[in-house]
Amino acid sequence: MSTPQLPKVAGIDPPVPAPAHTSAPAVPPPPSAPGPSSPASDPRVHDRLAGWVSDLTTLQELTERLARTPDLDAALRELLRAGASLVGAGRGLVTLHPDHHDGHPLTVGLGLGHADIGHIETIPHDRAAPGPYVRLLDDLPPEGDRSGRIHPDIPGEDDLDPRHREVAARLGYAASYALPLESAPAPGGEAGAATAAGRIGAAVWLYDEPAEPTERQRHLAGLYCGYATEHLARLLELTRARRTLSGLREELLPGRLPRVPGVRLAVRHRTGPHGGGDWYDALALPEGALGLAIGGITGSGPGAAAATARLRASLRAYAVMEGEDPVAVLSDLELLLRLTEPARTATALFAYCEPAARKVVVAGAGHCSPLITGADRTEYVETSLSAPLGMLACWEAPSVEIEPAPGETLLFYSDGLLNRAGDAMDRSFTRLHSAAASVPRSARHDPEAVADHVLRKVLPDGPDGPEDDDVVLLVAHFD
């Protein structure tokens, strides 16, 4: 039986290899007092060990802070802050390779404004550089070499481009230290071979006076940037996937709102970071009628997006065939949902509008009641309480008829609008009612202005808040 090997701690191999077989334990010799030259009594050894422990503790704390960053922008700013503390610099910037950011370079500064970064961009560009980074990072070593580049005394370096020294003097820095954001070589691969992440960008830190980081500082910064590269690569993939899903969902929703005499429309839609299942629709129907729909389906991600597309396409067909009866439209939709999406439930609200006759017939299935507002009233439409589609063996609920007066506006909204308000549901309803009632008189006849005002009042921090829910607000103003 083999003796278990000693565990590895913080990336350090065990100092003594494990024996190949079990042998009788040897009797240890009696301890002898350490002599003057014994390593155990050398204070330099203790100082070195204490320094290693301090470095490992610092790296652990910094990498944990980086791992807790919620998004790409926060991760880049944490990378700059941590790197500046490791190398003893005051300012810096980081840029990501355009090939890894959908063709758009992403640059973030620490202690540098947009104008400062613009000045740096005017440094002459080396077209033969191994990547289209910020001009200050053109002279990085080729890919596979993660040693970085030091300019310890920019005003005194004769071989630098004069424009580089001019920009440094304008921005007040006299030295720089740049590191590539590149993953470590793959184990067992060829020299210089990189993992899948490869080189995704670079970071540079700036010193106010001529200086350069020590060997220990460069070593720690290199270890930290190696970890940061892997973390940023994962965030880039996640950001790209979310952007793709969000774009797909936007393509599945109406590209433009229909124009029907007597009514004007506006919509505001924000997708949550995980791609929720909220949707809306507006379609022109025969004889000058208009169909308005809003709803949500359980789940998130590509599956929910695909189910939403199928649900919306089916509702359009049912609205064309029997749109005058919103209850029949939702009944057909419920049957389809149970047959094609048995594991999902959905909320929906469909309104059949006849602008010329001032008549709107609404039926809802587990969805929030619409809100009507105008000069003389602001109130919720009393729709009957009903279950979501797919929850009961057979869905049925009566419709309700509304008669909007000239100049009044109907608001259809998703529950994500209420959830992102951050209050309990009853207080969120009250906030939405107050927001609609407080629309300035001069803006009441503009559905776009009404939508913007309501969102500002209900979501003071903006629609892109911390919640994951989608936000949909569909506004119909009757002339």
Domain 69-186+193-245 and domain 253-478, same fold? Reply is no
Evaluate if residue 2 carries a pLDDT over 50. no
Place of tokens 């994962």: 234
Cβ–Cβ under 8 Å, residues 297 and 277: yes
Q: How many other β-carbons are positioned within 10 Å of the β-carbon of residue 169?
A: 12
Per-position b or e across 129-168, b if 16+ CB within 10 A of its CB? eebebbbbbbebeeebebebbebeebeeeeebeeebbebb
pLDDT for 257-278, tens place per residue? 999 999 999 999 887 655 567 8
According to the model, what pLDDT value does residue 398 have? 85
Q: Which long-range contacts (CB under 8 A, 24 or more apart) does 162-169 make?
A: 163/122, 163/123, 163/124, 164/123, 164/124, 164/136, 167/119, 167/120, 167/122, 167/123
Confidence check: pLDDT of 468 > 60: no
DSSP H or E run through 242: helix 215-252
Confidence class for position 182, pLDDT limits 50, 70, 90:
confident
CA 77/CA 81 separation, integer angstroms:
6
Helix (H, G, I), strand (E, B) or coil at 171: helix
| pLDDT given at position 475 | 96
- Are the C-beta atoms of 52 and 220 separated by less than 8 Å? no
Burial string for 410-442 (b: 16+ CB within 10 Å, else e) reads bbbbbbbbbbbbbeeeeebbebbeebbeebeee
**71 — pLDDT class (breaks 50, 70, 90):** confident
Residue at 212: amino acid letter: E
CA–CA gap between residue 136 and residue 120 (Å, rounded): 7
Output the average pLDDT for the chain.
Answer: 81
Mean local confidence (pLDDT), 223-243: 86
The 10s digit of each residue's pLDDT in 26-61 is 444 555 555 555 555 667 777 778 878 888 888 999
Q: What is residue 136's predicted lDDT score, i.e. its pLDDT? A: 58
pLDDT in tens, 160-181: 888 888 989 999 999 999 998 8
Mean pLDDT to the nearest integer, 372-377: 93
Residue 289 near residue 276 (C-beta atoms within 8 A):
no
Give the pLDDT mean for 301-322.
Answer: 86
Position 27 scores a pLDDT of 45
Residue for token pair 């422990």: 53
Indicate the CATH number for domain 253-478. Answer: 3.60.40.10
Pairwise CA distance, residues 145 & 16, whole Å: 31
Q: Note the pLDDT tens digit of each residue in 3-28.
A: 444 444 344 444 444 444 444 444 44
Domain parsing of the chain, residue ranges:
69-186+193-245, 253-478
Q: Kind and range of the H or E element at 268?
A: strand 263-270
Q: Which fold has domain 69-186+193-245?
A: Beta-Lactamase (3.30.450)
Mean pLDDT computed over 450-473: 77
How far is 478 from 450, CA to CA, in rounded Å?
13
Burial-class residue 469 by CB neighbours within 10 Å (0-12, 13-18, 19+): buried
The pLDDT value given to residue 121: 80
